[in-house]
Amino acid sequence: MAPLNVGVIGYGLSAKVFHIPFDLIADPAVHLVIVTTPPNTHRALAEACLRAGKHVLVEKPFVPSSADAAYLAQLSAETGALLCVFQNRRWDVDFLTVRDLLARRVLGDRVVDWKVGLAAEQGGGPLYDLGTHLIDQVYALFGTPERVFGKVTAQRSAAAGDGGDAEPDSVTALLSYPAGGPAVHVRISVMSAQEPQPRFRIRGTRGTFVKSGLDPQEPHLRAGGTIADEGFGKDQHPGTIYLAKEDGSVSPGETWAGVEPQGYGTLLESFAEAINAKDASKVPVKASEAADVLRIIEAVMESSRTGAEIKLLKLEFEEAVQTPDPAVVVLVGPLGVAARGTRMTHGTPPIQPPRGADDLLALDADLAADDNIGATLAVDADLERAAAVLLA
C-alpha cells in the first residue's frame, strides 16, 4: 500500500485561525488532512480541503447538522476527494462481539429489544458527542429507524434544585423499526453511580446478552500505552449470555469472552486502502452514513422539544418545477410527510418553512434538487402531498 502524507488540523487559536489549515491545504505534498477542531469548524475546513483535492478524515461529532453532512458528502462525490468520519467505536471490542453474535444468530433469528447506555461523563456532551457513538452503532447494525421518541434533560440541575435553562446532560431515546425490527433504547445519564457502567442488553428470539464496561482502547492510550502493547484492546469485562433451551427453560448465565479486538487502527487502515484504491465504496465510515445518524439525533432533539414521536422517512420527489423566479425551484412529490426546514441552512440565517394550506417546506439553495435532499430531513406529520422550495 502506497504511503500517504498526512496533515492534522488541531485546536489552538493560532494554529486554527492563522497558520496550519491554510498551509496544509496549499501544500501539494499533503494527501490526507485530519480535522480535529471543534465541530462548528468542521464543515468549513473539510469543504476547503475537499475543494483543494485533499482527502479528509473528520473527528466526530462530524458537523452540527445533517444538512451540512449531506452537503459535504455531495461535495466529496463531485471532487473525487474521499471523506471519512472518525466513528471509531464501530471498532469497540464489545460492539464487535455484539455484531458477531447477531451475524451468527446466536441470540435467535432476530433482535426484539436492544438497550445501550453509558454515563455522560465517559464521553463528553450527552447527545452530539457520546450519543453520536451510541446511535452510530445502532445505525451500523439496523439502519435508519422508522420513528424516534426522545427526552433530553438536565439531571444535575434537577438534583440540585436549580431552575432556568440548564445545559442538558442526559438523554433517553426510543428508536422504533418497522415490523420485525428491534425496539432500541438509548440512554445516557450523568447520574449513574455504578462501576462498571452498563453497556449493552440485547434480547433476541432465543437468547439475551448483557454487557458492562467501556472499551479499553481509549483509557489505555490516555495512560501512555501504545497499540503495540500486549493485550491492547482486550475486553476487561466479558459479557454474559442466556440462551433458551428446547424445553422452554433458560440456561444459567454463561460468560461470553467475545471476539478478538481489531483496534481503532482498522478504521485508519481501511480509509488508507480506499484512498490508494480511489474507491469511495471502501470508505469505512461514509459522510452519508454520518448524515443519517445526525438525522436521528435531530429527531431526538425535535421529539424532546415537542413531546411528539418523530417519523423518519427518506423523501423522494416526483419532479422539479422551475418557477418564474430563476432563484426558486419547487420539488413536488407524494411524500407522505411534512418536514421542518429550520436546520437546512448553509451560512445563512435559518429559513422558517411556510406552514399552511400548501404545506411548503423552505430549504437552502445549496441542497441539490434531487432525491438526496430527502436524506437530510426529520419528519413529524402525515400528509398526502408536500413540496419543498429551494431558495437562492
Q: Does 330 lie in the same domain as 270? A: no
Q: Does 121 lie in the same domain as 78? A: no
Residue 195 pLDDT level (bands cut at 50, 70, 90): confident
Which triple of cell numbers denotes residue 195?
A: 462501576
pLDDT of the residue at 148:
92
Q: Is residue 10 part of a domain?
A: yes
Q: What is the 8-class DSSP label of residue 17?
A: I
Q: Is residue 205 part of a domain?
A: yes
Residue that wins the pLDDT comparison between 282 and 14:
282
Which triple of cell numbers denotes residue 4?
A: 500517504
Which triple of cell numbers denotes residue 344?
A: 437546512
Residue that wins the pLDDT comparison between 78 and 387:
78
Which triple of cell numbers denotes residue 17?
A: 485561525
Q: Is residue 199 part of a domain?
A: yes
Q: Does 234 lie in the same domain as 371? A: no
CATH number at residue 50: 3.40.50.720
pTM: 0.76
Residue span of the structural domain in which 193 resides: 89-262
Q: Is residue 295 part of a domain?
A: no
Q: Is residue 54 part of a domain?
A: yes
Q: Does 68 lie in the same domain as 57? A: yes
CATH number at residue 187: 3.30.360.10
Q: Does 248 lie in the same domain as 223? A: yes
Q: 319: burial class by Cβ within 10 Å (0-12, 13-18, 19+)?
A: exposed
pLDDT of the residue at 378:
31
Q: Does 237 lie in the same domain as 94? A: yes
Of 110, 138, 180, 98, nearest to 292 (Cα)?
138
Mean pLDDT of 244-273: 89
Q: Does 222 lie in the same domain as 119? A: yes
Q: Does 29 lie in the same domain as 94? A: no
Q: State how beta strands 147-153 and 170-176 pair.
A: antiparallel
Q: Does 198 lie in the same domain as 101? A: yes
Residue 362 pLDDT level (bands cut at 50, 70, 90): very low
Q: Does 225 lie in the same domain as 132? A: yes
Q: pLDDT by residue (tens digit) across 111-125?
A: 888 777 654 443 335
**pLDDT surpasses 70 at 158:** no
pLDDT of the residue at 219:
85
15 SS3 class: helix
- Phi and psi at 244, nearest 5°, equal -80, 140
